[in-house]
Amino acid sequence: MHDNIESHLVEKRIFKPRTDFAKNARIKSLAQYQRMYRESLRQPAKFWAREASELVWRARWKKVLEWKAPFAKWFAGGKLNISENCLDRHLTGPRRNKAAIIWEGEPGDKRTLTYQQLHREVCRFANVLKRNNIKKGDRVIIYLPNIPETAVAMLACARIGAVHSVVFGGFSADSIRDRIADSGAIAVVTADGAYRRGGIVPLKKNVDEALRDGTSVRRVIVFRRAGNEIHMEEGRDVWWHRELEYVDANCPPVPLDSEHPLYLLYTSGSTGKPKGILHTTGGYLVGVYSSTKYIFDIRDEDIFWCTADVGWVTGHSYIVYGPLANGATTIMYEGAPNWPEPDRFWKIIEEYRVNILYTAPTAIRAFIRWGDHWVAKHDLSSLRLLGTVGEPINPEAWMWYYKNIGGGRCPVVDTWWQTETGSILITPLPGAIPTKPGSATLPFFGIDPAIVDEKGREVGANVGGKLIIRRPWPAMLRTIYGDKARYRQQYWSEFKGNYLTGDGARRDEDGYFWIVGRIDDVLNVAGHRLGTSEIESALVSHPQVAEAAVVGRPDELKGQGVVAFVTLKASVSVTGGLKAELREHVGVHIGAIAKPDEVRFAEALPKTRSGKIMRRLLKEIASGARVTGDTTTLEDFSVLAKLAESEE
Ligand code: PRX
């Protein structure tokens, strides 16, 4: 069918769960998975109530799900506190003295916090928040490196019912300012600086700049991390360690409504400003708790390492909330994988005897490029399970991961999900579901995905289409902050009552899902979603730029590379340094991750008669292909020829 996504990937290898792994796993066979999956769809209330009952509730819910599409209430009427579930509930037994967070800083400093210690730190910092007049429902921006304090700050907010919004430490002052403006945050928790590849990222300075022209923020709490010199604004800024002197460690968790907002996380859309994805308390907790339990088959004796940054949803769900809700030991590493050398990850795995590793295809592709000898130097025999997330993994990278990191012994769980979904939705269960390299395999419990054509009709085996989810699930987003209409429009309007993922996929003859990527033009660079419109508006904010269009092109390492087509203002003549200057400009306005790999100057951009830029054509040009698609709506044909010559 013309409108469907084509798929050229054919992969026939199948890896069955090893019997020794399956024997000890929670879900031991395909038949057991199928039985439970069927039950989860037939009797969702029963299924999810059973999962939720493993957690601590201050008041039991009245109804598992109230669904007035597209608005869901999970465990309606229930009361709980997520920090109590992640901390207090482990303090009455042997987990009290177990490592909750094992942390390593980029320079090599190390810390371990037991559950009891983490609980104490969270209580104290929650009291600091209270002391600074931060209350239930207030929004707090957290702009910190990957350090235990980030988890402490998140859990402290959750403990008192404040809503955290973590901003990735690689983002710039402009990004912080936008997020403050949208969320109406009253406080920022940050650090003086963060270590990155031996240098120091000036976090506090970025915050100062974001706050320069006045915002809703009244208080900035600063953790001393890098020791770099910073400015402290009298009456606004306070030191974390100083504040601790005024508080004790007694801070009972506040029982919150199951639908009380837990956090906002901003994600790029294809158009317009970043969206504040809102997650709430009860359903989110149940979703991350049970997905961590079944998908990573996590055990009390395991050491679990999710290599993401806490600033992304993966860090929220699978460094902090999922593992801690399970009473697991979670590893946190502050820095770059190739600092000081490309074997940093393998060193960490060897030293801490990591059992479960969860990382991204873009990292795996970098490891492959750096060479197998970095891996071979280390003993990785402690590993028993591997996971990936963030983008489709190419079968070559999957095989390399399986053989070189997993020693051919560890199952690989390729987990598909999104910031919006909160928890993993399509994934193998490691003891039950045979894997095929490149496929996220089958739906998790309670998830009802389908692939449909433009009219919403389910397509047959191996036909590409749009991936939708046909019913609500506990950890789903509840809305876009402050914009219910956009929430409805973006996710629930194209196929009424169904959640539109925005991804294209196909299902093979065994019912396995193969995700092919975003349908719209959002870029996925090194596992991060970037809206082209944000990069474009950053480019256009440069005084010499008239117009810009940004597209992705396949990039072996990063998944996608960023190519910017730029037209300059008429009076401007191209100087040698302008391309580099524009790249820097994007870095300053959005962050280094968004810097174009290539900037091409063009006399004009290909547009339709209605004035829309034809990105499809630009994509073809950017990837070096001849333009083959339909050009009938093109306004000016001479533009195409000139664009093709725009390469340096
Ligand atoms: O396109 C899919 C891709 O990443 C998108 C979600 O990005 P984000 O909200 O930033 O969350 C990333 C971490 C959950 C999806 O729409 N994606 C994520 N995981 C996979 C994937 N594509 C293929 N396979 C995956 N396992």
Q: Helix or strand or coil: residue 603?
A: coil
Report which of 164, 184, 194, 190 is spatially closest to residue 313, judged by C-alpha positions: 164
How far does the centroid of ligand 1 lie from the alpha carbon of residue 595, in Å?
21
Classify residue 416: in a domain, yes or no. no
Q: How far is CA 334 from CA 177, 196, 331, in A?
A: 24, 8, 10
The radius of gyration computed from the CA coordinates of the chain, to the nearest angstrom, equals: 24
Identify the domain boundary among 219, 248, 275. 275
Alpha helices, DSSP H, located in 326-441: 344-352, 361-370, 373-376, 395-400
Cβ contacts of 235 within 8 Å, gap of 6 or more: none
- State the average pLDDT over residues 259-266: 97
More confident residue, 593 or 103: 103
Q: Which of 529, 530, 593 to mutate to test the pocket of ligand 1 (most atoms within 8 A of CB)?
A: 529
- State the average pLDDT over residues 390-410: 91
Neighbours of 270 (CB within 10 A): 17
Q: pLDDT tens digits, residue range 419-472?
A: 999 999 999 999 999 999 999 999 999 999 999 998 999 999 998 889 999 999
Report which of 500, 419, 414, 403 is spatially closest to residue 454, judged by C-alpha positions: 500
CA distance 400 to 323: 27
Q: Is the pLDDT of residue 9 over 60?
A: no
Domains of the chain: total: 2
Report the percentage of the chain scoring pLDDT > 70: 94
More confident residue, 622 or 387: 387
Classify residue 491: in a domain, yes or no. no
Q: Is the pLDDT of residue 105 over 80?
A: yes
Half-sphere exposure for 16 (CA within 13 Å, toward CB): 6
Tally DSSP H helices, then E strands, for the chain.
21, 30
- State the average pLDDT over residues 245-272: 89
What ligand 1 atom has the least distance to the C-alpha of 415? 26
Classify residue 421: in a domain, yes or no. no
Classify residue 613: in a domain, yes or no. yes
- Spell out which residues line ligand 1, taking CB within 6 angstroms: 267, 313-314, 389-392, 414-419, 440, 501-503, 515, 517-518, 524, 529
How far does the centroid of ligand 1 lie from the alpha carbon of residue 240, in Å?
35
Report which of 435, 74, 52 is spatially closest to residue 426, judged by C-alpha positions: 435
Q: pLDDT tens digits, residue range 354-385?
A: 999 999 987 897 898 788 999 999 999 999 99
Residue 590 is predicted with a pLDDT of: 82
Classify residue 262: in a domain, yes or no. yes
Q: What is the pLDDT confidence band of residue 647, given thresholds at 50, 70 and 90?
A: low
What ligand 1 atom has the least distance to the C-alpha of 528? 10
- State the average pLDDT over residues 541-557: 87
Q: pLDDT tens digits, residue range 16-71?
A: 999 999 999 999 999 999 999 999 999 999 999 999 999 999 999 999 999 999 99
How far does the centroid of ligand 1 lie from the alpha carbon of residue 309, in Å?
15
Average pLDDT for the chain:
91
Are the C-beta atoms of 29 and 23 separated by less than 8 Å?
no
Packed helices 532-540 and 578-589: angle between N→C axes, nearest 10 degrees: 120
Question: Residue whose CA is closest, atom 3 of ligand 1?
Answer: 391
Identify the domain boundary among 221, 245, 275. 275
Residue 69 is predicted with a pLDDT of: 96
Q: The domain that contains 106 carries what CATH number?
A: 3.40.50.12780
Classify residue 103: in a domain, yes or no. yes
How far does the centroid of ligand 1 lie from the alpha carbon of residue 166, in Å?
19
Query: What are residue 74's DSSP bridge partners?
Result: 65
Q: Which stretch of 392-401, 435-444, 530-539 has the lowest confidence by average pLDDT?
A: 530-539
Identify the domain boundary among 275, 300, 316. 275
How far does the centroid of ligand 1 lie from the alpha carbon of residue 390, in Å?
4
Question: Residue whose CA is closest, atom 13 of ligand 1?
Answer: 390
Q: Which of 267, 292, 416 to mutate to test the pocket of ligand 1 (most atoms within 8 A of CB)?
A: 416
Q: pLDDT tens digits, residue range 181-205?
A: 999 999 999 999 999 888 999 999 9
The DSSP annotation for 206-260 comes to HHHHHHTT--S--EEEEE-SS-------TTTEEEHHHHHTT--S--PPPPEETTS
Q: Is the pLDDT of residue 266 over 70?
A: yes
- State the average pLDDT over residues 167-188: 93
Query: Structural domain of residue 566, as residue ranges?
Result: 522-645
Residue 270 is predicted with a pLDDT of: 42
Classify residue 226: in a domain, yes or no. yes
Q: The domain that contains 624 carries what CATH number?
A: 3.30.300.30
Residue 628 is predicted with a pLDDT of: 66
pTM of the model: 0.86
Report which of 194, 178, 213 is spatially closest to residue 145, judged by C-alpha positions: 194
Q: What is the pLDDT confidence band of residue 634, given thresholds at 50, 70 and 90?
A: low
What ligand 1 atom has the least distance to the C-alpha of 524? 4
Residue 571 is predicted with a pLDDT of: 73
Q: Which of 7, 277, 391, 523 to mutate to test the pocket of ligand 1 (most atoms within 8 A of CB)?
A: 391
Classify residue 537: in a domain, yes or no. yes
